[in-house]
Amino acid sequence: MTDMELIARWIPRFLSDHVLVERNLSKNTQRGYRDSLELLLFYIARKCRKPIDSLRLSDVTPERVRLFLQHVEQDRHCSVATRNQRLAACHAWARFVGSNHAEYLGWCNAIRSIPFKKAAQIPRDYLEKAEMDALLSAPNRETAQGRRDYALLLFLYNTGARADEVARLTVNDLRLHDSQPYVRILGKGNKVRQCPLWPLVVRQLAALIVDRASEERVFLNRRRQPITRFGIFTAVKRCASKAGQTMPGLLNKRISPHTIRHTTACHLLKSGVDINTVRVWLGHVSIDTTNIYAEIDLEMKNQALRHCEIFEKVPRKQWKGKHGVVEYLRSL
């Protein structure tokens, strides 16, 4: 067995050299690849009854990868989307190995030939205007945490930003004193987009960052440490639970920071903003991603339906002169 055949040689090179240095992928993608390959290696090691450090590339057969994906769905009770994410990591790793060593091109093609599984499209939850207003009314603005939560919800709704993007936001990213205040958001693929801010959001953020240095994070937790995306998720859930006491319909929806992102997109479309502007607003690379939001609003569909509604023609009654005019009018 040559050193090149050992999996232990390829995993660090893939994650450190390729994913981090060559491609500079986001931390979430790095963690996703890392976790997927870790699960795969533990599974293969159990199947082969070998230590992980002794595994060879030839141990990772297409059949074992398929069994691993089946294990992800059936034993770990993961969704089809998660199954496909694990497979995407396997594809990327195999492509890296094949592109760096021609001897393993056959193995690479065999792994990459495993298809993704088609998943049913589940309608995405979003909030109607009254529901969003109820959510914004939930935080107790008499407390520091409540003021932070209110500013956080407003910012999420204004910008449609992802939780991870909001967690990374620094004071230097805010342009609150410009003639048109805006925020710089670092999104997926290290792409920067600019989003205008409502005057109400500007006031709330200005009060939140008083005496903060430019490199400090905008949103902090109760310990004055930078809030994480999990902390943002918890804050949104806490406010949604409280809002559900006055608007019970909210309790039937799975509300998260991403739900507010969907809400922003739907409300922009309903207000007449063109879909390409919404794409730029949300930081989507492809307009196909944004088109999802054009599919989920029943009110917009009903409005479109009314434009082409067909009405049954009712034959007009003819006056044949057999009765008087008054009798004719009363018969209509």
Residue-wise pLDDT for 247-257, tens only, equals 999 998 999 99
Tokens 């992800």, located at residue: 72
Query: CATH number for the domain including 214?
Result: 1.10.443.10
Q: Are residues 108 and 136 in the same domain?
A: no
User: What is the per-residue pLDDT for 26?
Assistant: 80
The answer to whether the predicted template modeling score (pTM) of the entire model surpasses 0.95 is: no
Number of domains within the chain: 2
Q: Is residue 123 included in any domain, yes or no? A: no
**Sequence-separated (6 or more) residues with CB below 8 Å from residue 106:** none
Whole-angstrom distance, CA of residue 285 vs CA of residue 328: 66
Neighbours of 124 (CB within 10 A): 17
Which parts of the chain sit beneath pLDDT 50?
1, 304, 307, 309
279 is catalytic: no
Q: Is residue 313 included in any domain, yes or no? A: no
User: What is the per-residue pLDDT for 269?
Assistant: 84
Q: Is residue 323 included in any domain, yes or no? A: no
Q: Are residues 158 and 106 in the same domain?
A: no
User: What is the per-residue pLDDT for 243?
Assistant: 96
Judging by DSSP bridges, how do beta strands 192-196 and 174-175 pair with one another? unpaired
223 is catalytic: no
Task: Assign 64 to helix, strand or coil.
Answer: helix
Q: Are residues 175 and 286 in the same domain?
A: yes
**Chain centroid offset of residue 150 CA:** 21
Specify the length of the chain in residues.
Answer: 332
Domain boundary among 112, 137, 157: 112
Q: Is residue 315 included in any domain, yes or no? A: no
According to DSSP, the residues that pair with 170 across neighbouring strands are 217
Q: Is residue 328 included in any domain, yes or no? A: no
Q: Are residues 78 and 152 in the same domain?
A: no
Q: Are residues 140 and 52 in the same domain?
A: no
Whole-angstrom distance, CA of residue 224 vs CA of residue 220: 5
**Residues 83, 162, 267, 279: which is the catalytic one?**
162
User: What is the per-residue pLDDT for 104?
Assistant: 93
261 is catalytic: yes
Q: Is residue 155 included in any domain, yes or no? A: yes
**Residues 34, 112, 184, 188: which is the catalytic one?**
188
Residues 286-314 have pLDDT tens digits of: 666 666 666 555 555 555 455 454 555 55
56 is catalytic: no
User: What is the per-residue pLDDT for 277?
Assistant: 82
CA distances from 80 to 65, 90, 106 (A): 15, 15, 27
Query: CATH number for the domain including 74?
Result: 1.10.150
Q: Are residues 264 and 170 in the same domain?
A: yes
Q: Are residues 64 and 152 in the same domain?
A: no
Q: Are residues 139 and 63 in the same domain?
A: no
Beta strands in 66-188 (DSSP E): 174-175, 182-186
Residue 210 domain boundaries: 129-307
**Sequence-separated (6 or more) residues with CB below 8 Å from residue 217:** 167, 168, 169, 170, 171, 226, 227
Q: Are residues 234 and 298 in the same domain?
A: yes
User: What is the per-residue pLDDT for 105?
Assistant: 93
**Residues 71, 83, 193, 258: which is the catalytic one?**
258
DSSP string, 221-236: -TTSSBPPHHHHHHHH
Domain boundary among 78, 112, 146: 112
User: What is the per-residue pLDDT for 43?
Assistant: 97
Q: Are residues 214 and 239 in the same domain?
A: yes
Q: What angle do CA 189, 193, 195 make, to 5 degrees?
A: 145
Q: Are residues 96 and 186 in the same domain?
A: no
Residue 20, Cβ density class (10 Å: 0-12 exposed, 13-18 middle, ≥19 buried): middle
Q: Is residue 314 included in any domain, yes or no? A: no
Q: Are residues 69 and 215 in the same domain?
A: no
Q: Is residue 199 included in any domain, yes or no? A: yes
Domain boundary among 82, 112, 142: 112
Whole-angstrom distance, CA of residue 305 vs CA of residue 125: 22
